[in-house]
Structure 1
Amino acid sequence: MGAGIAGLAAAHRLLERGARVTVLEAADRVGGKLLPGEIAGARVDLGAESMLARRPEAVGLARAVGLADRLQPPATATAALWTRGALRPMPKGHVMGVPGTADALAGVLSDEGLARIEQDAELPRTEIGDDVAVGEYVAARLGREVVDRLVEPLLGGVYAGDAYRISLRAAVPQLFEAARTHTSLTEAVRGIQARAAAAQQTGPVFMGLHGGIGTLPLAVAESVRARGAEIRTGTPVRALRRHHAPGAGAPVWHVDTADGTYEADAVVLAVPAPAAAELLRAEAPAAAAELAAIEYASMALITLAYRRSEAALPDGSGFLVPPVDGRTIKASTFASRKWGWLAEDHPDLMVVRTSVGRYGESEVLERDDADLVDVSRHDLREATGLTATPVATRVTRWNDGLPQYPVGHHARVARVREHVGKLPGLAVCGAQYDGVGIPACVASAYAAVDQLDGDLTGVQRLTADPVQSLHGGAGE
């Protein structure tokens, strides 16, 4: 249930395993947080705009649905930090903002902040136990400046969260594992970098698609439809319950909607945590309680189109903004610089995106669209000197768009899966479990299908209307 990228990936994988698939989606479109759009005649993304290329799942799915020739890395990966009143090059040699050395951090950190990093090697081991907040651990080793001016803007760009709440184990697992075996945090970071170099991870870190990442779920949906799956949008699910027919074999699932009840041998539940909690309340109350406790952050994306001749911008793909600097926007992407296809298709335009909104930050999102455009233009002018008037603007709001990963999230997800795993023919996937990035969502979908493999073996039946077979769902 749900036709975001996780659920569509699950449907795609289920079809490969020979299942019959029906996808039920409450919204009137597929794609979830991957949303293609248009501004001033240019195709743009109004949601996520890239995917991690050094994980294989999302790029592999794009190739599987015929998008191989449209995969493109960013034309430039040079980003900046807008901090201490200037745009400063994003330091290299870090893991999610955690540096391996103090080199190249002058200007970003104060002299005191630089000296604090050097003390890391002299500190005794910090015991982190089963989990710890990223900000708490990094501040204890390297000082708060590293968290506030380096870690916070990078984590904020991914989770729209608070580094002092976000779980190190869930959000930066490779650093969590390295920190458990190294006394020095900077040594742990250098070890991660050395292993990456030894693995010859030299390709692009991120990948996009000509026409925008929002075209990926559309292509997956087209592929699964072509292979016999049915996708029903505008079909919210009201209830999910196990049905034990007298004299029948194993129980089946009944999925209740306004259009009737669907019968399923197995269900992939790929919807946000609040919706999943509501649907699981009757059959898996313990899992429902865990899911109901997951919090979300809201954000908004402001897309602005300028005449290129009037939009003089610095080099690079854009910049991040540390919250400690007190600005309203948290990031800006120079989309026409970042994506070569956009510049080639619309050489007279300069498309720029800004984002606002972090966890616990509701006041800024209460502003109307015109105010968000104005504040974005103000901050862009302060950061880059851009004074031109845009020829078009769009504001896209993602209310409760990003699940938060606080300390203990890993254990919570394990408990959810333990409770759900006691119900044959049921699996969950989506952004609230193992990562909010596109590859993580696709991987969670594949894991859900793998869990169901035993339940689906030999199952091919499709019962008659109004009770229909639902052998797979879709996702966030």
Structure 2
Amino acid sequence: MSQAHPSSRHVVVIGGGISGLAAAHRLLEGGARVTLLEGSARLGGKLHSGEIAGVPVDLGAESMLARRPEAVELARAVGLDDRLQPPATATARIWSRGGLRPMPTGHMMGVPGDLAPLAASGVLSEEGVARVARDAELPRTEVGDDVAIGEYVAGRMGREVVDRLVEPLLGGVYAGDPYRISMRAAVPQLFEIARSHRSLIEGVRELQARAAARPAAAGPVFMGIDGGIGTLPVAVADAVRAAGGEIRTNARVTGLDRRPDGWTVVLGERTLTADAVVAATPAPHTARLLAPHAPAAAAGLASVEYASMALVTMAFRRPDVEGLLHGSGFLVPPVDGRKIKASTFSGNKWGWNAAGDPDLFVLRTSIGRFGEEEDLGREDAELVAMSLKDLGDAVGLAAAPVESVVTRWDGGLPQYPVGHLSRVARIREDVARLSGLRVCGAAYDGVGIPACVSSGRRAADELLVTLTPGAEGQGGE
């Protein structure tokens, strides 16, 4: 990545999560001068690496979708190509109806395209499988402009498949309620199937057959990074600095003021002038910044709801867990009333994690769903005890961990209710009326890492088009 010319236009990026870092990286590639401001002491947002008992771990997101290219491309661009790793195992199970059961194959976000593996898995009752099969007989259901995925699938296939398969899979991404989440925004391929096919089973089967015929389908679905996904924002930040960008942490932006030729960014008693601004902050903060300038966009952003969650990471002596922990982990349908919603066996899933200390085994659990967050107010020790209780019931784990770490993500996951894409379109339309301003982040086009990288790049590309190449920048302190 070439360094920005000293006379380049100055762009301030507000927010040092992966979206803001991706925007800064792209802006520098386009020749802008960049200052990135992060309100906390740490870059990376929900991408955060740490240690437990001396073993490196991810304390936030742990993998990225590899079938969508943006995040992998960014990792390679900042020198992480030789550290990209697929999971050592991706064999997950579902703790359903009193037992750990294999994840049935042939589904799309829990919506089955093949009834045989679904029936064989035991995830659903015989009555539940029979209800799913009725989808093939029902007349087509119109979806309109959007529909809640749970509502639509339950109408076609019954609530059991939603509660025991769709919810745990979708909940792992959004920690949300499938009966509220937009199918068009969260699973657009399924929405297109619903629009074009009479039967969901038939549509999912056709789509998977086409996907399997493509060469790219042979590659890994997900990818990790040796040392943790949390190393990605660190590497992007290093690349931004190497290209001449400036990054400031503990620099919380409290306001934006318009100028005839740009913007004034307010940081408490200090200010920074810029030709353009990218707001890569969570929706509530962005709403406060935009309220004086784009009230309709601010109102839309203020309406975005968030789910909170906690990750409980534990290290065990390997002999204490030998023979108990198989595959990459398991998901938990909330309908069974358990406290945890998932557990990841990091010591099995990631080769780099297993190599951290051969005598230790690391796993983690997640707690908290949208609207069910009362447990998150408990002490760390209580969350660890809840996790151990469920792990004991699920796999027979009776050992105490050598060390545990609880990471709380308050307001960590934006929710995508029915109509989300229309709301985002209205927000962007209102923001576009303001010269030199764009927004990006998880609240718009997807909560996954590739979607966030894409969102940051889109904001950068749109601003680069509006900035006159080679014009003398006015930004400075």
Judge same fold: TM > 0.5, yes or no.
yes
Please tell me whether residue 292 in structure 1 is matched to residue 302 in structure 2. yes
Deviations 1:26-70 (A, max 9, x none): 001110010111100011000000000001100000000000000
The amino acid across from 2:246 in the alignment is: E
Write the mapping of 1:101-112 to structure 2, written as runs, cut at 5 A.
101-106=114-119, 107-112=122-127
Deviations 1:394-441 (A, max 9, x none): 000000000000000010000001101111111111000000000000
| Structure 1 segments unaligned to the other structure (5+ residues) | 245-250, 469-476
Deviations 1:255-299 (A, max 9, x none): 111252111111111000000000000010000000000000000
SS of 1:139's equivalent in the other structure is helix
The amino acid across from 1:114 in the alignment is: V
Which residue number in structure 2 is paired with residue 281 of structure 1?
291
Which residue number in structure 1 is paired with residue 453 of structure 2?
442
Pair 1:214–1:259, CA change in 2 (3 A): farther
Which residue number in structure 1 is paired with residue 405 of structure 2?
394
The amino acid across from 1:24 in the alignment is: L
| Structure 2 segments unaligned to the other structure (5+ residues) | 1-13
How far off is 1:198 after superposition? 2.3
Within the candidate set 268, 274, 280, 1:264 is matched to 274
- Distance (whole Å) between structure 2 residues aligned to residue 230 and residue 373 of structure 1: 40
Deviations 1:349-387 (A, max 9, x none): 100100000000121111110000000001001001111
How far off is 1:322 after superposition? 0.3
How far off is 1:325 after superposition? 0.8
Please tell me whether residue 215 in structure 1 is matched to residue 228 in structure 2. no
The amino acid across from 1:268 in the alignment is: V
Which residue number in structure 2 is paired with residue 34 of structure 1?
47
How far off is 1:311 after superposition? 1.2
Please tell me whether residue 314 in structure 1 is matched to residue 325 in structure 2. yes
Write the mapping of 1:207-246 to structure 2, written as runs, cut at 5 A.
207-244=223-260
The amino acid across from 1:300 in the alignment is: A
The amino acid across from 1:282 in the alignment is: P
How far off is 1:462 after superposition? 4.8
Q: Which moved more, 1:442-451 or 1:279-288?
A: 442-451
The amino acid across from 2:334 in the alignment is: P
SS of 1:452's equivalent in the other structure is helix
SS of 1:129's equivalent in the other structure is coil
The amino acid across from 2:422 in the alignment is: A
Do the aligned residues in 2 keep the contact of 1:9 with 1:445 (CA within 8 Å)? yes
Write the mapping of 1:129-140 to structure 2, written as runs, cut at 5 A.
129-140=144-155
The amino acid across from 1:419 in the alignment is: D
- Distance (whole Å) between structure 2 residues aligned to residue 396 and residue 240 of structure 1: 32
Do the aligned residues in 2 keep the contact of 1:268 with 1:426 (CA within 8 Å)? yes
- Distance (whole Å) between structure 2 residues aligned to residue 172 and residue 294 of structure 1: 19
- Distance (whole Å) between structure 2 residues aligned to residue 365 and residue 461 of structure 1: 51
Which residue number in structure 2 is paired with residue 407 of structure 1?
418
Which residue number in structure 2 is paired with residue 356 of structure 1?
367
Please tell me whether residue 181 in structure 1 is matched to residue 215 in structure 2. no
- Distance (whole Å) between structure 1 residues aligned to residue 467 and residue 235 of structure 2: 25
How far off is 1:101 after superposition? 2.3
Write the mapping of 1:298-377 to structure 2, written as runs, cut at 5 A.
298-312=308-322, 313-377=324-388
Which residue number in structure 2 is paired with residue 73 of structure 1?
86
- Distance (whole Å) between structure 1 residues aligned to residue 16 and residue 106 of structure 2: 38
- Distance (whole Å) between structure 2 residues aligned to residue 457 and residue 191 of structure 1: 47
- Distance (whole Å) between structure 1 residues aligned to residue 168 and residue 419 of structure 2: 22
How far off is 1:105 after superposition? 2.1
How far off is 1:175 after superposition? 0.7
- Distance (whole Å) between structure 2 residues aligned to residue 47 and residue 460 of structure 1: 41
- Distance (whole Å) between structure 1 residues aligned to residue 196 and residue 466 of structure 2: 40
Write the mapping of 1:88-103 to structure 2, written as runs, cut at 5 A.
88-103=101-116
Which residue number in structure 1 is paired with residue 66 of structure 2?
53
Pair 1:160–1:292, CA change in 2 (3 A): same
- Distance (whole Å) between structure 2 residues aligned to residue 309 and residue 439 of structure 1: 37
Pair 1:51–1:327, CA change in 2 (3 A): same
How far off is 1:460 after superposition? 5.5
- Distance (whole Å) between structure 2 residues aligned to residue 457 and residue 10 of structure 1: 18
The amino acid across from 2:358 in the alignment is: P
Do the aligned residues in 2 keep the contact of 1:321 with 1:327 (CA within 8 Å)? yes
Do the aligned residues in 2 keep the contact of 1:266 with 1:455 (CA within 8 Å)? no
Percent of matched pairs sharing the same residue: 67
SS of 1:400's equivalent in the other structure is strand
SS of 2:444's equivalent in the other structure is helix
Which residue number in structure 2 is paired with residue 63 of structure 1?
76
- Distance (whole Å) between structure 1 residues aligned to residue 72 and residue 269 of structure 2: 36
Q: CA RMSD in A?
A: 1.1
Pair 1:70–1:259, CA change in 2 (3 A): farther
- Distance (whole Å) between structure 1 residues aligned to residue 272 and residue 213 of structure 2: 51
- Distance (whole Å) between structure 1 residues aligned to residue 389 and residue 473 of structure 2: 58
Pair 1:67–1:429, CA change in 2 (3 A): same
Normalising by structure 1, report the TM-score: 0.95
Do the aligned residues in 1 keep the contact of 2:106 with 2:117 (CA within 8 Å)? no
The amino acid across from 1:242 in the alignment is: R
- Size of the aligned set, in residue pairs, is 460
- Distance (whole Å) between structure 2 residues aligned to residue 305 and residue 359 of structure 1: 28
Q: Which moved more, 1:370-379 or 1:448-457?
A: 448-457
Runs of at least 4 residues off by over 6 Å? none
How far off is 1:195 after superposition? 2.0
Which residue number in structure 1 is paired with residue 166 of structure 2?
151
Pair 1:3–1:198, CA change in 2 (3 A): same
Do the aligned residues in 1 keep the contact of 2:275 with 2:474 (CA within 8 Å)? no
How far off is 1:315 after superposition? 1.7
- Distance (whole Å) between structure 2 residues aligned to residue 259 and residue 303 of structure 1: 40
How far off is 1:461 after superposition? 4.0
SS of 2:116's equivalent in the other structure is coil
Do the aligned residues in 2 keep the contact of 1:101 with 1:117 (CA within 8 Å)? no
Please tell me whether residue 165 in structure 1 is matched to residue 180 in structure 2. yes
SS of 2:340's equivalent in the other structure is coil
Pair 1:265–1:459, CA change in 2 (3 A): farther
How far off is 1:241 after superposition? 2.0
SS of 1:358's equivalent in the other structure is coil
Which residue number in structure 2 is paired with residue 471 of structure 1?
none
How far off is 1:221 after superposition? 0.3
- Distance (whole Å) between structure 2 residues aligned to residue 173 and residue 457 of structure 1: 36
How far off is 1:459 after superposition? 4.8
Please tell me whether residue 384 in structure 1 is matched to residue 395 in structure 2. yes
Please tell me whether residue 193 in structure 1 is matched to residue 203 in structure 2. no
Normalising by structure 2, report the TM-score: 0.95
Write the mapping of 1:78-89 to structure 2, written as runs, cut at 5 A.
78-89=91-102
Q: Which moved more, 1:339-348 or 1:20-29?
A: 339-348
How far off is 1:454 after superposition? 2.1
Q: Which moved more, 1:254-263 or 1:27-36?
A: 254-263
